[in-house]
């Protein structure tokens, strides 16, 4: 059974990193549609996310900021922006960070995020702050298609493409 809990996002304030494209952009628009306010932080901010939000009449709850998540001060600035613009912060989505290295290094980095999130959940539990990790299967983001990718190619590079899912 699928339970739609998106209504619970209404009124919340979220910072989403890597929100200028792909999964992060989809999350930003989904949060806005659910009634949340969003600080969309990305190393390269263009007009795409704002345009899509404006089409849905949602742009007034979107604040875009140029931020590199590898820079502590940029992350702090993103959080401060949420507080200054929307008065609080409820949700942090640590989405930015794609594969720019070998698959092994990428996997190691993702494993580190999973363990870091587990420990952050323990550390932050006394303040009733939840920390969860989402590990999606391959998702066809525009950047992949722009680089000549396709669903067929995605399946072809699976090490065991005919495995039952």
Ligand X SMILES: NC(=O)c1ccc[n+]([C@@H]2O[C@H](COP(=O)([O-])OP(=O)(O)OC[C@H]3O[C@@H](n4cnc5c(N)ncnc54)[C@H](O)[C@@H]3O)[C@@H](O)[C@H]2O)c1
Residues that bind ligand X (CB under 6 A): 17-18, 20-24, 42-44, 67-70, 95-98, 136, 138-139, 141, 143
Q: Rounded to an integer, what is the distance from CA 77 to the centroid of its chain?
A: 17
- Minimum distance of ligand X from residue 38's CB (angstroms): 14
Q: Is 164 left (phi over 0), alpha (psi -120 to 50) or beta?
A: beta
CA distances in angstroms from 50 to 24, 35, 55, 57, 99, listed in the order given:
13, 16, 9, 10, 25
Residue 109 CB, nearest approach to ligand X (Å): 8
Q: Calculate the alpha carbon distances from 76 to 30, 71, 94, 105, 127 in Å.
A: 24, 9, 13, 27, 19
CB 114 within 8 A of CB 135: yes
**Residue whose CB is nearest to ligand X in the complex, by number:** 22
Between 9 and 18, whose beta carbon lies closer to ligand X? 18
In the complex, the smallest distance separating the C-beta of residue 161 from ligand X, rounded to whole angstroms, is 15
Rank residues 77 and 121 by Cβ distance to ligand X and give the closer one. 77
Least distance (Å) from ligand X to the CB of residue 117?
13
Q: Which is nearer to ligand X, 32 or 96 (CB)?
A: 96
DSSP state of 136: P
Kindly tell me which of 20 and 32 has the beta carbon lying closer to ligand X. 20
């Amino acid at each position: 059974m699928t339970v739609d809990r998106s209504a619970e996002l209404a009124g919340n304030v979220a910072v989403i990193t890597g929100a200028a494209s792909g999964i992060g952009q989809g999350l930003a628009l989904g949060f806005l549609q659910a009634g949340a306010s969003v600080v969309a932080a990305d190393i390269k901010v263009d007009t795409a996310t704002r345009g899509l939000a404006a089409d849905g009449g949602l742009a007034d709850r979107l604040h875009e900021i140029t931020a590199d998540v590898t820079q502590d001060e940029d992350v702090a600035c993103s959080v401060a922006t949420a507080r200054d613009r929307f008065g609080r912060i409820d949700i942090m989505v640590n989405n930015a960070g794609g594969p720019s290295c070998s698959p092994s290094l990428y996997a190691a980095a993702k494993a580190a995020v999973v363990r870091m999130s587990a420990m952050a959940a323990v550390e932050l539990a006394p303040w009733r702050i939840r920390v969860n990790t989402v590990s999606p299967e391959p998702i066809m983001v525009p950047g992949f298609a722009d680089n000549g990718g396709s669903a067929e190619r995605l399946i072809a590079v699976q090490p065991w493409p005919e495995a039952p899912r």
